[in-house]
Each structure stands twice: as C-alpha cells, then as structure tokens.
Structure 1
Amino acid sequence: MEQISSKFSQPSRQSRVAIAIILIKFIRFTIRTFWPIALSIFIGRKSGSSFQDIIGYVALGLAAFNLIGSVLTYFRFYFHIEDGAFVIDKGVLKRSKTNIPFERIQTINLQQNIVHQIFGVVSLEIDTAGAKKSEMTIDALKKEDAEALRQYILEEKDQLSEVAVTPDSTEQAVQESFEEDVILKLDIGDLIKIGVSQNHLRSMAILFAFVFSTLNEVTDSVSDMVEEQLSGYQEAILSNGWVVFAGSVVIVGIISFIYSLVNTVLKNYDLKLTTRKGGLRVIRGLLNKEEISINKSKVQNISWSDNPLRRAFKMYTIQIEQASSAQADQLKSKIKIPGSYMQQVKQILEIVFPKEFIAEGEKHKVSILLKYRIFVFSGVLPALVATSVAFYHLRNNGLWFLVWIPIIWLTTSLYYKKRSFELNDEMLTNNRGTFGNYHEIFQLYKVQAVSIKQSWYQRRKNLASVVFHTAAGSLRIPFIPLQQAEELENFVLYKVETDRRKWM
C-alpha cells in the first residue's frame, strides 16, 4: 500500500487512452445534438436553400471549438493523494481543485466500455453521500492501478473509522473487508430467461417513440418522396388495411422481443453479485462493463418483484436504492439485479438489514374503498363515456366497450388483494401488484419525513394516505383509517428521533 501511496502522491495525468475516450464522448454528444441539423442541411441542399449552409457552418464552428476544448481537457487534468484525501485539479480557462477526505467517500465504481476493454483501462467514479452525480470521475486509468487505488482508499477509510483498535485487529478487519463471497452469478441460460420475461410493451413504446421522433424531423420534401414511392400501392394498402395493421404489429412485436433479449444480454452479461464487509458489489456488462459498489449503510430500501412470465421461472428482479439527491445518476442511486431467486433475495436482505427483523411483521390491509374508487374512475366512467360515443357512430357495435368494466373489476380485485403493509419495530414492508408481485422494505430510522395527506373524499370517509420520505425517494400507503395513519406517523417519528445509529 505504501507503493500505491507514493505512486499517486505526485500529480498524475490519466492514461493517454483518455484522449480517445474524451473524443468519443464529444462525437456522441455532437451526433445526439446536431443530427436533426445535419438532416435539415441534407434536405435543404436538395431544395437549394442558402440558409441551411449558414446553419451548417455555425454547427461546424461550434463542433471544432468543442473538439479543441475536449483535447485540452486531458492535458489540464491532474489527480493525486494528499493528507488522507483524494484531490483533482482540472480546468482549461477556469481552474478548479476538488479535495475529498477518504472518510467522506461512500463508494468507488469502475466502468469499462468497449474502448476501455480494448486498451485495458477503466473509468473510475468516486461518490459521496447526497452528490447529484459522481463527485470525481477519471476517464481512463490502467485497470490494475484503478483497482489498487480503490483498495488503498477503502483500506485507509476503514482504518480511519476504527476507534481504539490494536494493529492486529485493524489488519484483520481490513483483510476481511476485501474477502468476497459470490451470492449470484448469471449464465447465458439465466439471461435468456430474463430476456424472454422482460416487459416487451416497454420496448415497443421505445421503438415507436424513436420512429415518431425521427419522422417529426422529416420535412415535407421527404414526405412527398415517400408518398411518390408508395402511390402505386395506395389502393392495395387501403383495401387490406387490417391485414397491414396486424402484420405491422407482429413485426414490431418480434423486433421488440429481439431488442429486449439483446439488450438484456449486453447489459447483464456475466453478472456477478458479491458480498464484502460493508456492502455488496455488482459486476456486469459486455460492451459496457460496469462495477458498482453498494454501501449497505447508504441503502434506503430494497424491493423485489416478478411478473407472470418471470414467476414461471421462479425469478425476481431486485432493486437496491441508495441515498441520493433527486437528480442523482441512476447508476449510483438505483441498482437493478434481474434473475435472482428467492434464496438470493433473502441473502441480500440479511446482509443489508438486521436478520432478526426480516421476518414478516403484523400485516395491515388498506380500505376496500380504494378498490371501489379505482373501479369507478378507471373502469365504469371511461367505459360509459366510450360506449356512449361509440354507440352514436357504431350503434350496437359500440356496446363492446362495456367489456372494459369486468376487465377492470378483475384487475382491481387482484390489486386490492395484494395491497397491504407489514410493520415491526425495525422495518416496514409495502406490498402491491396486479398480475405480478411487488414488495419493498426499508428501515424506520432512515426515514427523513412523514406526511399525512387527505383528499376531499378521504376526509368524508375519515381516511388518509401516509407518505414516507427517504433519501432515495418516497413510499406511499394509501387509504387507511385516519387514526391508524396518525399512530403510524407518531410511531415512525419516535423511532427516528430515538435511534442513535448513523447511516450517512
């Protein structure tokens, strides 16, 4: 460790590969920002518009300016270790120096995209509690240097946190903190199961959004060209409209399925979840490999869920939410781990939370009025309005919209059956779901605020909804008796005020 300390005690630059990484970031940003302008220029040149040329020159000038700035960023970026702190000195026109003491560091994450993997380097991100994004990021370091640097910082942090310990016990604690046990490892078969059981409707929505956003950028010239090409097939398309529509849905469905499967494999390839003293570590990814550290004291809540397909494989998706600001990077604040079995779910809960309190607590149901209210406003009223309008235009065929009423009654009944919460002296578990199951659990002493809310309808029925605010977001329990809501609020606030444990 002394070798690492001496190596990084003097200001150092990143690996030279960082220049390529910075340039790739610049190119990606330029493409995302200027592709509509490029399309407009291409179309404008066909119509002979000189204004499009002006826009093109301005865009090229801005691109060149940003390109030079990106390269200079590498040469004006230095980092080093100084007096138990990690220091970064950076800036081209405006210099800034950031100093973070080791004890303030929460997690150190490593990432590798395809360029990183080719050159054997990693991106290192240092997070502190409550930061909106990674407080420090080094774009490219040799992998062995990054891993040694991370280990050195975490060891120093552990030693600073130890109080009145002997050198032998400190050495043993440090050694134990880096011993890892594998909890979960996904193989190709698991990834295929996860991909098959994904939410393919969401993938379809992403594809439709991409298509429509692209079409929105297309001008009348392109529209006229497409219309000209299809004019000869207009009659055939109109006469077989339902066939074309059904075929389009099937094609989009197949593409969505393939997209979900490929995206799952690329993102979660060789996923490995390990446990170590102080938390967990997730390693995953093929083209973009990421290594995420989870500090268990920073964890706010853990949820696990399934859907009908995933339940057939007896799999769950676990989500671990850490303390963060509202605008924090999703990578560090919400970590999803798909393909977990109940055994792994229990292991993770026992690692993060006190084992003696994980058992089921007293179960409470919400008011049945919630079921009736959802049924009326999501089922009866929309069905009656749609049926009235459709009956005016379609006559008896419009009555088919009434089928919506029993469908909503079924789904609402399933939802109400699962809507409950469990409470004990340490934990609160929130349960919900319709066709799938969703459970989330958090420790009471980490709650930051509790609020009781009532609509005009709830006031009439002496009901209320309780909202628990944590550093990772909010959790809501709706439609419980007002007296129970007030007792729950007082109980949780009492636990928060009397508990002396620190988690930030």
Structure 2
Amino acid sequence: MTPNATPQRLNPFALISEFYHLIREWVIPLIVLLISLIPVFMKHHLTALIPVLIIAVIVIFLVPASLRYWYFKFALEPASLVIYSGIFNHQINHIPYQRIQSVNQTQWAFLKPFHLVTISVETAGHSDTDRPEAVLSAVKASIYDQLVAAQQQAMSQPTDTTPTPPNYTINRRDLREFAMTSPAFLSVLVVLLAGFGKLSERTKQQLINWAFSSAKQLNVFVILGSAIAILAVFYLGSIITLILTYYGFNLTRQGDHLIIRRGWFKERQTEIAIDRIQAIRLKQPLVRHWLHLVTVQLIVISNDHQDDDAANVIIMPVIKQAAVNDFLATFFPQLPSLQFTRNHDRRNFWLNWRNYLLGSALVILPLTLFWRPWGSLSLAILFITLPMASFHSHATTAQVLTPRYLLVSNSDWFTRSDYLFQRHHVQTLQLRTSLWLQKRHYGHLTLQFRAGQHGKKKAFNYLPAAQLQAIRTWYDR
C-alpha cells in the first residue's frame, strides 16, 4: 500500500485512550483528594455534592484530553512517519522508516467492529520515556499494513523465497496446559501482601486483631477450607485470564522479524526484529518442570515501560522439553542444540543448603522467641526453603556450547531458567571468589545484558573453577 502523506487525525475513539492515560497519571492524587474531602463533606452534611465533584473531575480531565486529541496528527510520508503534537508548544517528530525496529498492534474487543487498532512504534535509538517513540490510538487497521510495508521497503530486506514461512499456532490443549500449569495466581497473593505492607501500622494491627478474633470463633477445618477456597478462586481467575490473553496465539517468522499475534478480548500483534534479541530464556516453573514442559521467552531491547512483558516476550507458551531443539531450529536455524542438564555437585548442594538455612534462621528465631506461641509456626518455612535450596542447586549449571553461544541455568522461587547468550550480547562478565572458595576451587559468575530499556544482571553461584575459566576464555575470544 502507498503511504498517505496527508496529515490525519486519530479516530474519535482515541479520546477514550487520552482520557484513560490522564486519569491513570493522576489516579493516586485523585484518590487521596477524595478520601480527604469525604470527612469534610460528611461533617458539613454535603455528601450530596460528592457526585458533583466526581463529574467536575471528569469534565476537567476531558478538556486536556480533547485538546491533546485535536492537536495530534500523523502522516505516512514517503521516507518517514511524521507526528504532529503539542497544544501550546507544537512539535513535529520525524521517524525514518529505516530506524523503525518494531511495529506493535493491539486491538480492544469493542474496536473490532470498527476495524480500529492501536499501533506503537519503537526505533533503534534508546529512549528515556516510558512510552514508545510513537503511539497511534484508534486508527484504521490498514495503517498498520502501510507502516510495515514502508518499513520493509526502506530496510531493503530480501524477500523470503520460502513458500511457507515458519509458523506456529497454539491448539486448545496446549493453551489449557499453559494456563493450568502457570503459577501466576500466586502473584495475586504477593500483590495483596505488598498492599498490606503499605498500610499504616494502626490499620495493620486492626486487621491482625480482627483476623485472630475471627479465627478463634472458627474451627481449623473451616479456616483451612476458606484458605483453599480463596486459592481456588485465584487459580481459576488466573486460568481464565491466561486463556483470554494467549487465545489464538500465533508465531510467524518473516525475514528478519518475528510476528506474534494473541488475545481474545484485547487482540495484540507484536513485531520483533531478530537483532533486538539479547537472549533466549527457557522457563520451567515447578509444575512444568515435573511434567517436562518448557516456556520459551525472548529477552529483547524495548523502550516500552508501560508493557510489563516488553522485555520478556513469550514466543512459545508451552512445549515438551524434548521438542525444544526442533522448535528453535525452525525459527532460529543458526542456534546450536541444547541439553537440559542437572547439577550433581554435592559441595554446591551443601553450600546452598547452608545459605538457605541461615536465611531461614534469621526469620524463625526472632519469631519463635518474641511471638509465642504463634511464632513457632514459622518453622514451616523450612518445608519451603530446604526443597528450594535443593531445586536451586540442581538447576545451577553452565555450558560453553560453541565459540559463539553460552548456556547458563539457575532458579528463582522454584522456577528454573536456562539462558542462551550470544557472546557479543553479554555486556560485562564478572567472576568472583573468596579465599575460602578459592581453596575449594569454586566461584561466582555474574552476567550483565540488555533487557527492556536498561541493563539486567544474573548471578550464578558456586560454579567449579574449571567452568568459570572456560567461560572467561569463551568471553575473551
């Protein structure tokens, strides 16, 4: 399709997006304002004015949202995407097509009947903003095709002579397997605990007192049943969310780009340039580890801070461990064959057990001594930390596969991760040891690499000195 050089406005549905972003930026001050004004209104019997206040806030935010929408235009010129924006300070941003690294597309369900999508554009340049270089909200789906075609033409990419490019579409069984073996429901508990930690001390104490007073009136079976029921609700909610998020998951490789489509309520399309991939991560939460299932992720460079998954892109939700090499060979034929290994080093095992025992003791001893009799229940921590130490020890390995590729493995919270690095994507490599470890010929490895907008570090502890020396030789070539 031929790019349209005439400046265009976004569809009026983009007003919803502008209003949403403004409200999200000010949601915390607005909540604080509302909470602080409610006692005043109640004291002076002005509660009837609360709806008026809410309507006034909505109107106040609609005005700048409307101005942002009115002064925002875009044009697909022959050589670049041009963005016109700014209310008082007018800006014109030219984004040459050859600098565009990825063009991502999302579509909310209510926009499907109107064939409208949201397009985000990221370039090779590093950006310090929390959004991509350009976001086109509620535009015609044909704009995406025009933009991708203009980018590919500018990059002068050779056409793929393969009649059928590599393609994968998830089936219902794999989608259910992926959703049912995910530990994502536990993250809800983490969020609740984090929210509890932000409450005032008085509120915390009141909640704790209420919980204990309620527990005294209930028997053990009712308490356990309630806890199991809550976990079951979180688990089912997690399954439904993941199925809707990854519904219709499709992966295609076209030339030097991967295209990912997924989503039911919010259909999403993501394009990833191969040269932005910094590492391949093979992820196995505990249940998938037992079932020999793997999730394949890409660690990529991204400028999108609003998307939590921008730096870790899933390209294979779930696959049998034995089929991983065939999958990677299909989409990345240059990669070497991988082998999932376990660490059987006994000294590594006991060193990790020692560390986890000491960490547990720092929690258990104070609780047992100063919070009787309930503090003794903290001994249950050992039933989590000691198996975690064993799991971590078995997962910690390192292999130099070829002069270009390194495979290192470790675990976090019963989740094994195998990272495949290409040498020039490792920004820094650090080897550490101590006098005590040096005598026993052990040390620690730390790798730093790009992930998202910033660098990321991964540590691999208690590796044999021979492995560390092989990795140093590999990196110094």
TM-score by length of 1: 0.77
Give the aligned partner of residue 62 of structure 2.
67
Give the aligned partner of residue 134 of structure 2.
136
Give the aligned partner of residue 191 of structure 2.
206
Contact 2:160–2:255 under 8 Å retained in 1: no
Deviation string for 1:175-207 (max 9, x for gaps)? 6599644223242x4333322222132233335
Distance 2:60 2:202 in 1: 28
Greater shift in the superposed pair: 458-467 or 410-419? 458-467
- Paired residue secondary structure (2:132): coil
Give the aligned partner of residue 491 of structure 1.
474
Matched, 1:415 2:392: yes
Give the aligned partner of residue 145 of structure 2.
148
Q: CA offset at residue 265 of structure 1?
A: 1.9
Distance 2:367 2:20 in 1: 54
- Where in structure 2 are there 5+ consecutive unaligned residues? none
Give the aligned partner of residue 296 of structure 1.
274
Larger fraction in helix: 1
Distance 1:421 1:10 in 2: 55
Distance 1:67 1:398 in 2: 53
- Paired residue secondary structure (2:41): helix
Give the aligned partner of residue 34 of structure 1.
30
Contact 2:71–2:87 under 8 Å retained in 1: yes
Distance 1:51 1:217 in 2: 29
Q: CA offset at residue 321 of structure 1?
A: 1.0
Give the aligned partner of residue 19 of structure 2.
23
Residues 444-483 of structure 1 mapped to structure 2, 5 A cutoff:
444-454=423-433, 458=437, 463-472=442-451, 473-481=456-464
Q: How has the CA–CA distance of structure 1 residues 268 and 476 changed in structure 2, closer, same or farther, with 3 Å as cutoff?
A: same
Distance 1:70 1:137 in 2: 15
Give the aligned partner of residue 181 of structure 2.
197
Q: CA offset at residue 104 of structure 1?
A: 1.2
Residues 171-186 of structure 1 mapped to structure 2, 5 A cutoff:
173-174=158-159, 176=161, 180-186=165-171
- Where in structure 1 are there 5+ consecutive unaligned residues? 162-172, 495-504
Amino acid at match of 1:302: I
Number of aligned residue pairs: give it.
463
Q: How has the CA–CA distance of structure 1 residues 43 and 209 changed in structure 2, closer, same or farther, with 3 Å as cutoff?
A: farther
Deviation string for 1:224-248 (max 9, x for gaps)? 9xx9xx9xx9987633264553243
RMSD (CA atoms): 4.2
Give the aligned partner of residue 276 of structure 1.
254
Distance 2:473 2:45 in 1: 69
Give the aligned partner of residue 127 of structure 1.
122
Give the aligned partner of residue 168 of structure 1.
none
Distance 2:429 2:245 in 1: 36
Contact 2:294–2:321 under 8 Å retained in 1: yes
Distance 2:44 2:331 in 1: 65
Instruction: Please point out which of 285, 288, 299 is paired with 1:321.
Output: 299
Q: CA offset at residue 360 of structure 1?
A: 4.6
Distance 2:262 2:186 in 1: 25
Residues 71-470 of structure 1 mapped to structure 2, 5 A cutoff:
71-129=66-124, 130-132=126-128, 133-143=131-141, 145-159=142-156, 173-174=158-159, 176=161, 180-187=165-172, 189-199=173-183, 200-207=185-192, 209=194, 212=196, 238-240=216-218, 242-243=220-221, 245-311=223-289, 314-324=292-302, 329-336=307-314, 337-342=316-321, 345-350=324-329, 353-355=332-334, 357-360=336-339, 369-379=347-357, 382-383=360-361, 386=364, 390=368, 408-423=385-400, 424-433=402-411, 437-454=416-433, 458=437, 463-470=442-449
Q: CA offset at residue 405 of structure 1?
A: 5.6
- Paired residue secondary structure (1:139): strand
Distance 2:67 2:370 in 1: 68
Contact 2:165–2:254 under 8 Å retained in 1: yes
Deviation string for 1:51-78 (max 9, x for gaps)? 9989x96x87775443211111122112
Amino acid at match of 1:252: I
- Paired residue secondary structure (1:19): helix
Contact 1:371–1:416 under 8 Å retained in 2: yes
Deviation string for 1:379-414 (max 9, x for gaps)? 25634973686378869x988876766865444233
Greater shift in the superposed pair: 399-408 or 297-306? 399-408
Distance 2:363 2:13 in 1: 62
Contact 1:367–1:481 under 8 Å retained in 2: no
Q: How has the CA–CA distance of structure 1 residues 454 and 94 changed in structure 2, closer, same or farther, with 3 Å as cutoff?
A: farther
Q: CA offset at residue 138 of structure 1?
A: 0.5
- Paired residue secondary structure (1:35): helix
Distance 2:427 2:362 in 1: 43
Greater shift in the superposed pair: 384-393 or 90-99? 384-393
Q: CA offset at residue 255 of structure 1?
A: 1.8
Distance 2:76 2:378 in 1: 68
Distance 2:377 2:145 in 1: 67
Larger radius of gyration between Structure 1 and Structure 2: 1
Amino acid at match of 2:360: P
Distance 2:370 2:121 in 1: 63
Contact 2:119–2:144 under 8 Å retained in 1: no
Q: CA offset at residue 109 of structure 1?
A: 0.7
Deviation string for 1:99-142 (max 9, x for gaps)? 12222111111011233324220011111123354111111211
Amino acid at match of 1:318: V
